Amino acid sequence: MKKIFTNITIIIFLLFYNLTLSASSKENFQKQRGKMVDTILEHFLIYGNNNFEISKSVISVLKKVPRHMFVPKKEIKLAYKDRPVPIGFGQTISQPFIVALMTELLNVKEDNSVLEIGTGSGYQAAVLAEMGTKVYSVEIIPELIERTSKVLDQLYPRIKLLIGDGYYGWEENAPYDAIIVTAAISHIPEPLIKQLRPGGKMVIPVGNPYTSQELVLIEKKINGDLLLHQILSVRFVPLTGGH
């Protein structure tokens, strides 16, 4: 009888210990997200030149999405630093400031459909889904999508994923209200322009894929004309594939 009591006491203790531990690490990650957002706000002040600022909706989404779940366990300490983090296969999860900026530039509304090229860790897709959009994301490395889809299925099951060469977009669900390309390319892919809805916006790093690029915002006017804005010098991993 005494032994049963001891066992029950141990189980209750472990349960309680685990609960307090997970509550405190949850709080800790939330605190780290708050600090990450402060750093992003500083960056917007420095680079924004009053041309762009971050909206309340993007800030609140960045405070919500658990970025630490999108980085490999061994990199968890870097999850909320304002820097890119390696995610394996020679790829990186973009710096939080860049994710914030690209999300802001797309100016998405709830229920918009958004195409992402370069799923990677899935973090940018998660941020867009948390904004209330329908996200379609294409990734060329199958092994990467395998890991990412497990995280997304758990947190954002509405996001649709495709393994393939994103240069050609994802025609089946076109047109999109917004398109985001998270890998660098020397030119703007024609198939993506075609799949962008008139009135829609695209952000893409254009330039030498192996050095640095310009982040370009493209507005597709209702009559199909394109308006290009150069936003900032950036460094992305190259868009690979057969183009």
Interacting residue ranges for ligand SAH, rule: CB under 6 A: 91-94, 117-118, 120-121, 123-124, 138-141, 144, 165-167, 182-183, 237, 239-241
Other CB atoms within a 10 A radius of the CB of residue 232 amount to 19
DSSP string of 115-164, one letter each residue: EEE--TTSHHHHHHHHTT-EEEEEES-HHHHHHHHHHHHHH-TT-EEEES
- At its nearest, how many Å lie between ligand SAH and the CB of residue 11? 40
Q: How far is the CB of 138 from ligand SAH (least distance, A)?
A: 5
User: Minimum distance from CB of 67 to ligand SAH (Å)?
Assistant: 9
Q: Residue 112 or 121: which CB sits closer to ligand SAH?
A: 121
Among 24, 55, 94, 233, the one annotated catalytic: 94
97 or 123: whose CB is closer to ligand SAH?
123
Q: What is the 3-state secondary structure (H, E, C) of 177-191?
A: EEEEECCEECCCCHH
Residue with token string 């800790």:
28
Which C-beta is closer to ligand SAH: that of 17 or that of 89? 89
Radius of gyration over every alpha carbon of the chain, rounded to an integer in angstroms: 20
Beta strands at 160-163 and 226-234: parallel, antiparallel or unpaired: unpaired
**CA atoms within a 13 Å half-sphere pointing along the CA-CB vector of 25:** 10
Give the strand pairing for 213-220 and 196-207.
Answer: antiparallel
Is 137 an active-site residue?
no
CB of 78 to ligand SAH, least distance (A): 13
Q: Which is nearer to ligand SAH, 183 or 218 (CB)?
A: 183
Q: Which are the catalytic amino acids?
A: 94
